């Protein structure tokens, strides 16, 4: 049988978020070998925790050209991954592919993911699900069971604090971490500072700022050792980073301090039962890159309130946490919706506002257009939006014709400028941001224009 080849040359967290795909591929294509090209420094220590696939380092990618494949799935944004996807021989290719000097994106869900660049404010599809939706039936995803995190009951409660992230904006400050160490100790909990070699200086700074004895393991553990230490912890407090996904995959419960330019709906802890603490400020609702002079999304986080939340998480059911969400933040629990896709349920009784209602509508709309469910889903989401945010619903319906005029003007010219999506009203950018790459991906062909107009007509038909 021809193997399936997955190209994943992103960071550690991206590789771990590919693990569910590997499981689904094994079930959907029993007996077919699954090969994965990835960064060796990431896959080597993760192999004991990974589903059973065959890994190849990128340094030896040329050997992959000798084989014919049933499917090639490129999950990477790197140009060399798209070039390799174009060079290998395969019956089907998905994701970015360079052929004849042109880069194209194969697969409607992979194209949707490309449309989220600088445009993910209303996206509610998780990366792990987007990895699979072009090739794995939703029924298979729905029937997959992922265990909830384990609960340890030791007298001395140990809490890990993973300090770093890929960008400074995505992690708490040294001062916050030092204050959290103190607040946890005051509550009888035992914190440990965790981090890789890059966090070694930060670990020293936090320990110095704290000013007392604290276990500092930053830079002292390999990935497999970090996973082993995680088995002795009751909880990991962490920003959105690769070790967070490692913890979630290995059953260690996570409190994700989701700050900076991340979207927890896309990259939050994937397995069910983890908690995410995310700012509710408008600029924090799915930002791709920070445009503010200061990181206002960091302001609502309080070390004392976080320590109180940690203790509450460890001492009872999550339902007790409903009234404990600090001001300016939302507390969410990871899980899976009835259709089998990733979900984040808010642990408070606040009614959904404009952002949540629009996000639900666009999720339902794209899921309908891509065949996950029927038209009743976006119609129900629209009715919910219309009843609870009538002014927003009127603005949506009033501004959609202008988007249509811009699309038809582009049809007369034979192309669209990038400003087509960027200058669209914010509430319509999920659609404009998808239509532009859809047309570009097919060289503005007549068939692509017809498809784009059909998308626009479908969006106009829902409000009626």
- The helix/strand count (H/E) of the chain reads as 19, 16
What fold characterizes domain 4-142?
A: Rossmann fold (3.40.50)
What is the spatial distance between Cα 359 and Cα 20, in angstroms, rounded to a whole number?
24
Task: Please state, as a whole number, how many other Cβ atoms lie within 10 Å of the Cβ of residue 147.
Answer: 9
What is the predicted pLDDT for the residue at 119?
Answer: 93
Task: Please state, as a whole number, how many other Cβ atoms lie within 10 Å of the Cβ of residue 29.
Answer: 18
pLDDT along the chain (464 residues), means of 10: 95 96 97 96 94 93 94 95 96 96 97 95 97 96 92 81 90 96 96 96 97 96 92 96 96 96 95 95 73 78 94 86 86 94 93 95 98 97 97 96 94 91 94 97 96 97 87
Task: Please state, as a whole number, how many other Cβ atoms lie within 10 Å of the Cβ of residue 192.
Answer: 19
Residue ranges, CATH 3.40.50.2000, the chain: 4-142, 158-346
Q: Over the stretch 106-148, which tens digit does the pLDDT of each residue have?
A: 999 999 999 999 999 999 999 999 999 999 999 999 999 999 9
What is the spatial distance between Cα 11 and Cα 8, in angstroms, rounded to a whole number?
9
What is the predicted pLDDT for the residue at 411?
Answer: 93
Residue of 248, 273, 272, 276 lying closest to 262 (CA atoms):
276
Q: Which CATH architecture has domain 158-346?
A: 3-Layer(aba) Sandwich (3.40)
Please state, in angstroms and as integers, the Cα–Cα distance from residue 284 to each residue in 110, 266, 328, 351, 406, following that order.
24, 14, 11, 19, 29
Is residue 228 within 8 Å of 251, Cβ to Cβ?
A: no
């Amino acid at each position: 049988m021809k193997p399936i080849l997955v190209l994943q040359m992103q960071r550690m967290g991206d590789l771990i978020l590919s693990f569910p795909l590997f499981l689904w591929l094994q079930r959907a294509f029993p007996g077919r070998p699954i090969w994965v090209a990835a960064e060796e420094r990431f896959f080597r220590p993760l192999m004991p925790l990974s589903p059973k696939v065959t890994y190849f380092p990128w340094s030896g990618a040329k050997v992959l050209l000798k084989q014919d494949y049933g499917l090639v799935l490129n999950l990477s944004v790197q140009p060399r991954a798209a070039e390799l996807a174009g060079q290998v021989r395969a019956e089907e290719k998905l994701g970015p592919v360079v052929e004849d000097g042109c880069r194209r994106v194969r697969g409607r869900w992979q194209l949707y993911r490309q449309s989220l660049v600088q445009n993910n404010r209303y996206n509610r599809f998780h990366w792990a699900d987007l990895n699979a939706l072009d090739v794995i039936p939703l029924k298979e995803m729905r029937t997959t069971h992922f265990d909830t995190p384990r609960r340890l009951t030791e007298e001395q409660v140990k809490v890990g604090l993973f300090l770093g992230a890929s960008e400074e904006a995505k992690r708490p400050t040294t001062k916050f971490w030092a204050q959290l160490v103190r607040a946890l100790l005051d509550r009888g909990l035992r914190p440990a500072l965790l981090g890789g070699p890059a966090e070694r200086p930060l670990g020293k700074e936090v320990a110095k700022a704290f000013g007392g004895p604290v276990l500092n393991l930053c830079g002292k553990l390999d990935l497999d050792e970090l996973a082993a230490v995680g088995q002795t912890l009751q909880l990991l407090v962490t920003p959105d980073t690769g070790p967070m996904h490692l913890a979630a995959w290995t059953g260690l419960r996570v409190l994700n301090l989701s700050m900076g330019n991340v979207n927890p709906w896309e990259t939050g802890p994937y397995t069910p039962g983890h908690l995410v603490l995310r700012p509710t400020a408008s600029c924090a609702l799915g930002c791709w890159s920070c445009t503010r002079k200061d990181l206002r999304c960091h302001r609502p986080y309080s070390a004392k309130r976080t320590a109180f939340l940690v203790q509450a998480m460890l001492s009872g059911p999550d339902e007790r946490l409903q009234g404990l969400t600090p001001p300016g933040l939302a507390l969410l629990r990871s899980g899976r919706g009835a259709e089998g896709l990733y979900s984040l349920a808010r642990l408070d009784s606040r009614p959904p506002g404009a952002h949540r209602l629009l996000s639900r509508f666009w999720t339902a709309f794209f899921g309908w257009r891509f065949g996950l469910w029927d038209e009743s889903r976006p119609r129900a989401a629209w009715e919910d939006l219309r009843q609870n945010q009538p002014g927003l619903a009127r603005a949506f319906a009033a501004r959609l014709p202008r988007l249509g005029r811009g699309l038809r003007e582009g049809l007369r010219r034979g192309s669209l400028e990038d400003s087509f999506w960027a200058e669209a009203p914010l509430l319509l950018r999920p659609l404009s941001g998808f239509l532009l790459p859809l047309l570009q991906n097919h060289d503005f062909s007549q068939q692509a224009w017809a498809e784009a107009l059909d998308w626009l007509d479908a969006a106009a038909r829902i409000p009626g």
